Chain A
Amino acid sequence: MSETPPVSDEEVDRLYRQIERDAESGGYHLHPDEAFTRGLVRGLLQNERRYGYRSCPCRLAMGTKEADLDIVCPCDYRDPDLAEYGACYCALYVSADVKAGKATVGSIPERRPPRVERERARAEARRTSGAIGQLPFPVWRCSVCGYLCGRTEPPLQCPICKVGGERFGRFI
C-alpha cells in the first residue's frame, strides 16, 4: 500500500509476451487493444512488487496471499466471466469473438463474493474436505480452470492453465 520502484517498459514487454504465449497455448486470448493490455500487465508487475504475487490490477488486494489467492491472476473468476461476458473482470483476457473484433466488452459486474462470504466458504471447504474418504487417492480441483486429478498431493503447476499448485483444493 505504498510507493514501489517504477516498472520498466522492458519488464512489461517480457511479461506481456509470456502471458500472451501462455494464453494462446491454453485457448485463451488477451484484449486486442495492446496499450490497454500493457497497462494491466504493468499493474500486475506493480502488485508483484508490493505484495509478492501478481494480484488482480482491478481489485483491492488485502496484502496476504491467503486472503488474495482467489484474485491472483488468472483469478478464480476469469473463466465464468469469459463464458458470461466475453471478458474477465479487468478485460485482460477476452473471448475469441472479442479478440477478432466481432464483439465488444465493457466494465462488468464483480463476481467475487464479499469478504465475509469468502471467509465462510473457506472455512466450509476445510470442514468438508475429505468427507468422502473411501477413494485410493484424494481428488484435487484447480480453482481457475476446474482440472481434476487423483493423486496424493496436488501438482506443482496446473498442466492445463499453468497456475501454481496452491490454487488446488481438495475436491473429493
Chain B
Amino acid sequence: MQIEHVDGTDRGKVMLYALSTCGWCAKTKQLLTDLGIAFDYLYVDKVAPDDQKAAIESVEQYNPSLSFPTVVIGDRTIVGFKEKEIREALA
C-alpha cells in the first residue's frame, strides 16, 4: 500500500486515512502539515485493487463506518475534519 510520510516533529503515531478527492480530507492533511508534525497518510481511493480489501480493513478497525477523513493519533481516533479535536490530541 502506498502509505506516504510527511516529515515533522515526532508526536508519536499519527495516521491519516483519506480520499484524494475529498475536500475535508484535504483540509485535514493541510492542518497536520501546518502543525508541523510528522505523520503518515494513505489515499484509500488510490490503493491498487489487490490491496483494497486490506486498506478497507485497516480503516474499519478504527472507524467501522469507513468514512473519511479518519485520523488516528496514538490510541485516539478522530472521524471527520474536527480541527479543535485534532489540535487538542496533538497538544
Pick from A3, A57, A109, A114: contact of B22, CB under 8 Å: A57
The main secondary structure of chain B at its interface with chain A is: loop
Query: Which A residues touch B26, using CB under 8 A?
Result: 39
A135 to B8, CA, bound (A): 67
Say yes or no for A59: interface residue by CB 8 A criterion: yes
Cβ of A83 < 8 Å from any Cβ of B?
no
* Residues of A close to B81: CB separation below 8 A: 106-107
Binding site for B on A (CB under 8 A): 1-3, 36, 39-40, 42-44, 46-47, 50, 57-61, 90-92, 106-110, 114
Asked whether B44 lies within 8 Å of A107 as measured between CB atoms, the reply is no
B6 lies within 8 A of chain A by Cβ: no
Could you tell me if B65 and A110 are in contact, using CB atoms closer than 8 angstroms?
yes
Q: Identify the closest chain B residue to A44 (Cβ).
A: B21
* Chain B residues with CB under 8 A of A36: 23
Contact of A2 with B46 at beta-carbon distance under 8 Å, contacts A59-B67, A107-B81, A110-B65 already known: yes
Are B64's CB and A43's CB within 8 A?
no
Bound Cα distance from A39 to B26, whole angstroms: 9
A113, closest chain B residue (CB): B65
Question: Does B16 have its Cβ within 8 Å of any Cβ on chain A?
Answer: no
